[in-house]
Amino acid sequence: MNPESPSGPLRGLRVVEFAGIGPGPFACMLLSDMGADVITVDRPGKKLGEAHNITGRGRSVVLADLKDAVAREQVFQLLEKADVLIEGYRPGVMERLGFGPDAVLARNPRIVYGRMTGWGQEGPLAQAAGHDLNYIAISGALHAIGPKDGAPVPPLNLIGDYGGGSLYLIVGVLAALRESNLSGRGQVVDAAMTDGAASLMTNFVSQQMRGVFGETRGSNLLDGGAPYYRVYETADGEHVTLGAIEPQFFSEFCERVGVPSELHHAQHDRAQWPRLHDEFARIFKQKTQEEWTAALEGTDVCFAPVLPLSRAQMHPHNRARNTFVEVEGVRQPAPAPRFSRTPSQIQGPAPKQPTPAADVLQRWQ
């Protein structure tokens, strides 16, 4: 890591992260990519230098026994100079450690105190254990994802941990930072994955109220119910995606692949959806994924092949945009989003050695 010359729009921002898993580290990775100086406080004996710890990239690690008075005071000194604190423990843990919001804001009244949990800081489930799948289960999101005749499908941990968690935490922290710059006063940001996942479902709540989104999986526009917005198998057992929602894109698809003319105007006739699906499935099974990519990629039919991670890195579009970059021999996703004047950059891999708290305090003078 090179904190002396970071790039990005958050250059100069000082962040103290209390080590955790999942959405907290990912949020701090994004902040670091955008130029923030992120210091992770971890326990003594923590093994560092794991080359594939991509979400741990671009920060310094301070090892501190929070039960030791000297170490505790050093951490408080860091927090006095910090702009943001990020923690992802169960409610009450930071208070028991002596680093709850009241204690920290007393030492630094302008700090933004970001709290990342699954259930939130309060509520009947606040103290219960849980993971992404549990949090999105009560938001309505999980119920909506999966096949019509099967159980809901876990969407990795993208909706709870990262979409409803990390990204909402960052939005809240940056908003609170702006307000702190105006008022001189910090505040607590309570980012709960249940809240974030529910927020992500806003459009579908609206659609349900309009009567155009049903609760039966696989029966709606965006859940695989519509034959023109779903995944199809190809002749070689691979898969491709079709997203021809707009009438002009649907029409172009029909023309390009030879859909029978009597079905060209059946896009929004739900009674015809089973027939359209069967016809599209039959057509896509006639060629391999590579052949369909050569025929349809880059056209207005809204097409893309379904690629595993190993092949996604080699896709020509991703290569042209440098969507994946290499840091000390480790191929990984590049910083996102992109800025025209203050470009983000990866500030280095996950650290191999801890940094003494005194060194951080010296550079944060």
Residues with a known catalytic role = 131, 161
Sign of dihedral through CA atoms 117, 71, 84, 36?
Answer: negative
DSSP string, 86-132: EE-SPTTHHHHHT-SHHHHHHH-TT-EEEEEESS-SSSTTTTS---H
Q: How many CA atoms lie within 13 A of 122 on its CB side?
A: 1
Asked if 213 and 207 touch (Cβ cutoff 8 Å), the reply is yes
* Close Cβ partners of 220 (under 8 Å, ≥ 6 residues apart): 144, 207, 212, 213, 214, 226
Asked if 218 and 224 touch (Cβ cutoff 8 Å), the reply is yes
Rounded to an integer, what distance in angstroms lies between the CA atom of residue 130 and that of residue 158?
Answer: 15
> In Å, what is the CA distance from 72 to each residue of 77, 79, 139, 173, 266?
9, 11, 38, 24, 68
Q: Is 244 helix (H, G, I), strand (E, B) or coil?
A: coil
Which residues sit opposite 38 in a β-bridge? Answer: 15, 59
Rounded to an integer, what distance in angstroms lies between the CA atom of residue 259 and that of residue 181?
Answer: 59
Rounded to an integer, what distance in angstroms lies between the CA atom of residue 348 and that of residue 351?
Answer: 8
DSSP string, 30-91: HHHHTT-EEEEEE-TT-----TT-GGG-SEEEEE--TTSHHHHHHHHHHHHH-SEEEE-SPT
Residue with tokens 């050695």: 353
The encoded tokens of residue 328 equal 């000390």
